[in-house]
């Protein structure tokens, strides 16, 4: 029976400010719905507890200024470690896929880390990629970033990596932070077309979102034939999000 791993960590002790949109309620609402729908009662769902990422896990990806301890809190280590926990469960055959429902987020964190960028200090997806490569020998991995903002940090880290396919679909950077993610950002000379950006016009609805997935993203993934697909699953393309202008439904 296929099984899905789930980790939930709202990081109650980490906040940018008391009223900032990136706060624990974002996760708690979803957690309530998970309980109400009885999802955890299904035999196909395995709930895991998070673990801490180590300094070595972070150092495989980031150069932190002045050091890792200055740029991370325990919440960051747990958020990244949650992805690693599910990665281990996947590689050992306990689960067939997993969802890490955690904060702080990560996809704006670049190779060199000076501080917080777009709510992100360290890049959870990138840390997972390099961990799986080190521990299990995976090479060809795809990251599909469906957050409403361009995953500029992930792009920066893997821009010259021919074995990492990065696809980001996001609200057009001319209208939203971080102002990047255009179609001519296609990867370095040794990784041409391994970086694909799909900027969407403000107001894109379910129809446009799904059309991009079916007609662009899915064929590109099939052609690349990755050993693993990671979804950087920001939910801020939802029509109620206060910091974007998209019309995607739940």
Q: Is 51 left (phi over 0), alpha (psi -120 to 50) or beta?
A: beta
Q: Which of 107, 108, 149, 150 is catalytic?
A: 108
In angstroms, the CA 197 to CA 98 distance is 25
The tokens describing 126, both together, are 């990138």
108 is catalytic: yes
In angstroms, the CA 12 to CA 10 distance is 6
The tokens describing 42, both together, are 């299904």
- Please enumerate in sequence order all residues whose Cβ is within 8 A of that of 146, keeping only pairs 6 or more positions apart, or say none: 169, 231, 232, 233, 234, 237
Q: Among 62, 78, 80, 60, which Cα is nearest to 70's?
A: 62
The tokens describing 124, both together, are 């959870």
* 3-state SS, residue 56: helix
- Please enumerate in sequence order all residues whose Cβ is within 8 A of that of 216, keeping only pairs 6 or more positions apart, or say none: 196, 198
Q: How many CB atoms lie within 10 A of CB 99?
A: 15
Q: Which residues are catalytic?
A: 108
């Amino acid at each position: 029976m296929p099984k899905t791993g789930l980790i939930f960590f709202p990081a109650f002790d980490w906040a940018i400010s008391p009223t900032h949109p990136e706060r624990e309620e974002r996760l708690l609402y979803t957690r309530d719905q998970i309980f109400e729908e009885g999802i955890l009662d299904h035999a196909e769902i395995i709930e895991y507890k998070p673990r801490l990422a180590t300094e070595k896990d972070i150092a495989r990806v980031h150069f932190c200024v002045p050091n890792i301890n200055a740029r991370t809190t325990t919440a960051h280590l747990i958020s990244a470690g949650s992805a690693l926990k599910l990665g281990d469960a996947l590689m050992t055959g306990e689960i067939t896929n997993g969802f890490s429902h955690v904060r702080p987020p990560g996809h704006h964190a670049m190779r060199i880390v000076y501080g917080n960028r777009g709510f992100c200090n360290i890049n959870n997806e990138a840390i997972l990629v390099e961990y799986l490569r080190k521990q299990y020998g995976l090479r060809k991995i795809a990251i599909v970033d469906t957050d409403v903002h361009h995953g500029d940090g992930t792009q920066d880290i893997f821009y010259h990596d021919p074995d990492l396919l990065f696809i980001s679909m996001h609200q057009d950077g001319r209208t939203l932070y971080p102002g990047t993610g255009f179609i001519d950002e296609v990867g370095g000379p040794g990784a041409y077309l391994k970086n694909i950006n799909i900027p969407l016009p403000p107001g894109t609805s379910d129809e446009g979102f799904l059309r991009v997935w079916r007609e662009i993203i899915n064929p590109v993934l099939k052609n690349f034939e990755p050993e693993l697909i990671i979804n950087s699953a920001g939910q801020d393309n939802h029509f109620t999000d206060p910091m974007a202008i998209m019309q995607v439904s739940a």
